[in-house]
Copies of this chain bind each other. A is one copy, B any other.
Amino acid sequence: MTERHPQERETRYPVQVELAVAWGEMDALGHVNNVVYFRYFESARIAYFSRLGASFSPAGPIVASASCDFLAPLAYPDTLRVGVGVTRVGTTSFTMRYELTSRARGLVAARGRTVCVWYDYALGAKARLPDPLRVRLDELEDSA
């Protein structure tokens, strides 16, 4: 799941969020539950979208697929840094990469990927990424 798609550029993380692990995010095995990593990625993704400043109406991104490689277990207490970047911009979709670093453990604990499809809610169908969004994506990525 970590191979690079031919059109993808090198992964950079222009947007970073810092998140505190909540005690209640641990499961019966005493580690942060696997599911919660995707919540962490979501928080980073939303922050990225916010930085994009794009209008998500009448069309916007929907997550078509998501994946995560769990590299190290996490536990409370810890502070996480999640970096997020866009590594591929297609006609109707783009790929985002995530890297989650544990401050307590001093290591990368997970890497992830989502493919977001640009979806026209009114039409109920995927749509071409608007040119201003492409420009803004490039600007944000180049700022990394």
Q: Find the residue from A19, A22, A23 having the highest chain B CB count within 10 A.
A: A23
DSSP class of A's interface residues: helix, strand, loop or mixed? mixed
Cα A35 to Cα B112 in complex, Å, equals 13
Closest CB of chain B to A67's CB: distance in Å?
A: 4
Which of A39-47, A86-94, A98-106, A136-144 contacts its partner? A39-47
The contact size tier of chain A is 20 to 34
Q: Which residues of A (51-91) have their CB < 8 Å from a CB of B?
A: 62-70, 76-77
Closest to A69 in B: B65
Cα A63 to Cα B73 in complex, Å, equals 10
A24 CB within 8 Å of chain B: yes
A11 CB within 8 Å of chain B: no
Instruction: Say yes or no: A35-B26 contact (C-beta < 8 A), given A66-B68, A67-B67.
Output: no
